[in-house]
Amino acid sequence: MEETFEIELTVNGVHRTARAPARRLLSDLLRHDLGLTGTHVGCEHGVCGCCTVLLDGEPVRSCLMLAVTADGHEITTVEGLAGRDGTPSPVQRAFQECHGLQCGYCTPGFLCTVTALLRDNPRPTDEEVLEGISGNLCRCTGYQNIVASVHRAAELLAEEAR
């Protein structure tokens, strides 16, 4: 029997516990142990960005982290981006408005990445948007509408702040 470890963490504001072997990836813990399947896995080696989640607010590749190392940390996944009442976040709304997704597989990673990007830089330039999303692959959209979505999300956030 493989040795397992107790892991305690906060996911989308909820305290969660799980037991997992040392080698279990954070992405697998989230998806298969906690049932949060919104986080997707596209390449298993940190290139595509589909599995991006926010760890203590910062975007990380959950396929490159062992679940045990998330012990004691706070994680936000795509399931936690909407408001408590289920209202989609400005970033989620912008992606729908601007047709920033097609198959939707890469989308949770983009949403997490962009959420952090706009928190740190509320009015990014075109260049800054490209730079900000340049670690996420999308095979469907050609990115044009994703870039538009980021700018639109910035507008929506600014409106909300007013």
Partner 1 sequence: MGGTRVFGEPIPRREDPRLLTGQGRYLDDLGRDALAAAFVRSPHAHARILDIDVTDALDVDGLVAIYTWEDLPGRVAEPLPLLIPHPSLTHGRTAYPLARDVVRHVGEPVAMVVARDRYLAEDAASRIRVDYDPLPAVVGIEEAARAEHLVHDDVPGNVGAVLEQRTGDVDAAIEAAPHVLEFRLDIERSASMPLEGRGVYARWDADDGSLRVYSSTQASTSVRAAIAAKLGLPPGKVEVIAPDVGGGFGVKIVHPWPEEILVPWAARLLDREVKWTEDRREHFVAAAHERGQVQHVRVGFDDEGRVLGLDVRILHDHGAYTPYGVIIPIVTSTQLLGPYKIGAYRAEVVSLYTNTVIVTPYRGAGRPQGVFCMERTMDRIADHLGRDRAAVREVNLIRPDEFPYDQGLTFQDGRPLIYDSGDYPALLARIKELIGWDSFEEERARAAAEGRRIGIGLGCYVEGTGVGPYEGGHVEIDTSGRVHVATGLTSQGQGHETVFAQIAAAELGVPVEDVRVTTGDTRRFGYAVGTFASRAAVMSGNAIALAARKVREKALRIAAEALEADPRDLEITDGVVHVKGDPSAAVPLRTVAVLSNPLRYAFDEEAQRATQFAVGGDATEPPLRGEEPGLEGRDYYSPVRSTFAAGMHAAIVETDPDTAEVRILRYAVVHDCGRLINPRIVEGQIHGGVAQGIGGALYERMVYDESGQLLNASFMDFLMPYATEIPRIETAHLETPSPLNPLGIKGAGEAGVIPVSAVIASAVEDAEGIRVHSMPLSPDDLYRLRRRAERDESLRTRSGARAARERAT
* Residues binding partner 1 (CB under 8 A): 1-2, 21, 23-24, 31-32, 35-45, 47-48, 50, 77-79, 81-82, 88, 92, 95-97, 99, 101-108, 111, 129-131, 133-147
Least Å distance, CB 129 to partner 1, is 8
Which CB, 17 or 144, lies closer to partner 1? 144
Cβ-based nearer residue to partner 1, 21 or 122: 21
Using an 8 Å Cβ cutoff, are 11 and 77 in contact?
yes
Return the number of the residue (62 or 141) whose C-beta is nearest partner 1. Answer: 141
d(CA 118, CA 105): 21
Residue 134: is it exposed, middle or buried by C-beta count within 10 angstroms (0-12/13-18/19+)? exposed
CA distance 115 to 52: 11
